[in-house]
Amino acid sequence: MVKTVSKPKRKYYVCEECNFAYIDKKFASKCENWCREHHSCNMEITKHAVNL
Ligand SMILES: [Zn+2]
């Protein structure tokens, strides 16, 4: 399950597999599905990740 992290200004969705954080839940879900299946990161997805 995608985790949520609340920061003072906004909420982030975090992939539980690789811990990348996303503003958009759909990318976090995609990332998590990808990470589970492939045990690696997909650049097309992780480029949408943000630094917390
Ligand atoms: Zn991931």
Q: How far is the CA of 10 from the centre of ligand 1 (A)?
A: 20
Q: How far is the CA of 25 from the centre of ligand 1 (A)?
A: 12
Q: How far is the CA of 6 from the centre of ligand 1 (A)?
A: 18
Instruction: Give the tens place of pLDDT for each residue, 23-49.
Output: 999 999 999 999 999 999 899 999 999
User: Could you count the other beta carbons within 10 Å of the beta carbon of residue 4?
Assistant: 12
Structure tokens at 29: 């879900």
Summary count for the chain: helices (H), strands (E): 2, 3
Q: What is the pLDDT of residue 52?
A: 84
* pLDDT over threshold 90, residue 1: no
Q: What is the pLDDT of residue 21?
A: 97
* pLDDT over threshold 90, residue 7: no
